[in-house]
Amino acid sequence: MKSLKVVFLGTPEFAKTSLEAIHQSSHEVVGVVTVADKASGRGQKINQSPVKVYASENNIPVFQPEKLRNPEFLENLRKLDADVFVVVAFRMMPKVLFEMPRMGTFNLHASLLPDYRGAAPINYAVINGEEKTGATTFFINEKIDEGNILLQEELTILPDENAGSLHDRLMEMGSKLVVKTLDGLAENSIVEKPQPKVEHPKNAYKIFKEDTKIDWTKSSKEVHQFVLGMSPYPAAFTTLKIGSEEKTLKIFLGKYEVSNHDKTPGTLDISKNTFKIYTKDGIYEPLELQLEGKKRMGIKDLLNGFKDFTDCEIK
């Protein structure tokens, strides 16, 4: 099989797994483009992206441009004479960059396109209670996640699976799909095809803090899926009022039941052994939580820390 010269563009762990798979394949990674190092935490420690760490450990040239249109950066990339660019969990790319390699630039996206275009396809697949999802490799063009499809592979979403578990399974499956795509391009055996026209495709917009608040007026099943789809990150939350103090309560796991009641959605039923929140059509019981200022814990440990159950409510 012909070995392709690849420039890899990506940042998080999800991307690093694909980089590693390419590096261990018959193809040659001639360069890596990733985010600039960032200072974070109390000590402002400089953190490198997982992609940079792997590239550095394996003596692969690393580029960290602030601007992707930087002339010096573009010229250095041209000198690598790559056959193809591979993008996994990176950022918007200018045309001058993605049109550089002779075979083009393809992206790995964690959904079955055209559904779930956008920044959070894994979260929304779980939130919406999908039974299956998958991964797609496609050529990048000037529109977000709309280029011609190269390969697709389906993955069944397990019962009560959260976004974190699904992320990890798609990460492994996607890395294999990336190498399979490179193999197909090298052999000229892949026929790219336009994405199907869908009148109302499901979207996966970027998730902001305000999007993670639980709406207790929804059904128990919808609340359950929302919590799973936000777990472990960015985490679904509600506001718990304890006396005169309001605190954020993140919920990572729970169970639900559908039942008739005359309670207002969001009503809290709490005691030494009970933590139930009423929904539109039943109740939801959190099992793993994190109260603001505390570590993540099970429901029993949380309830053991309460002194007065009569003065608590969901806001």
Q: Taking 90 as the threshold, does the pLDDT of residue 39 lie above it?
A: no
In 3D space, the residue among 211, 240, 239 whose CA is nearest the CA of residue 123 turns out to be 211
pLDDT digits (tens, 9 = 90+) for 68-81: 999 999 999 999 99
Q: Taking 90 as the threshold, does the pLDDT of residue 232 lie above it?
A: yes
Q: Taking 80 as the threshold, does the pLDDT of residue 307 lie above it?
A: no
In this prediction, residues 80-109 reach a mean pLDDT of 97
Across 38-52, 128-142, 162-176, 219-233, least confident range: 38-52
Round the average pLDDT of the chain to a whole number and report it.
Answer: 95
> Would you state the structure tokens that stand for residue 94, as one six-digit string?
């200018």
What is residue 14's three-state secondary structure? helix
Angle between the N-to-C axes of helices 13-23 and 50-57, in degrees from 0 to 180, rounded to the nearest 10: 30
b/e map 207-243, b = 16+ CB within 10 Å? beeeebebebebbbbbbbbbbbbbbeebbbbbebebe
In this prediction, residues 143-150 reach a mean pLDDT of 93
- Return the percentage of the chain with pLDDT > 90, whole number: 89
List, in sequence order, every beta strand (DSSP E) within 34-126.
Answer: 38-40, 45-47, 62-63, 84-88, 105-109
Q: Which residue type sits at 293? A: G
pLDDT digits (tens, 9 = 90+) for 235-289: 999 999 988 899 999 999 999 999 999 999 999 999 988 999 999 999 999 999 9
Beta bridge pairs of residue 3: none
Query: How many CA within 13 A on the CB side of residue 268?
Result: 16
Which domains, ranges and CATH numbers included, belong to the chain? 5-187 (3.40.50.12230), 210-314 (3.10.25.10)
Number of continuous H segments (helices) and E segments (strands) in the chain? 8, 16
pLDDT digits (tens, 9 = 90+) for 169-227: 999 999 999 999 999 999 999 999 999 999 888 999 999 999 999 999 999 999 999 99
CA dist 130 and 110 (Å) reads 14
DSSP state of 26: S
In this prediction, residues 1-30 reach a mean pLDDT of 96
In 3D space, the residue among 19, 52, 175 whose CA is nearest the CA of residue 110 turns out to be 175
CA triple 52-143-130, angle to 5 deg: 80
In this prediction, residues 279-304 reach a mean pLDDT of 96
The residue behind tokens 């960032």 is 38
In 3D space, the residue among 289, 278, 310 whose CA is nearest the CA of residue 227 turns out to be 289
CA dist 46 and 209 (Å) reads 25
pTM assigned to the model: 0.94
Residue 304 vs residues 244, 274, 276, 300: alpha-carbon distances, Å: 20, 11, 15, 6
How far, in whole angstroms, is CA 80 from its chain's centroid? Answer: 30
Q: What is the pLDDT of residue 49?
A: 95
- Return the percentage of the chain with pLDDT > 70, whole number: 99
Q: Taking 90 as the threshold, does the pLDDT of residue 144 lie above it?
A: no
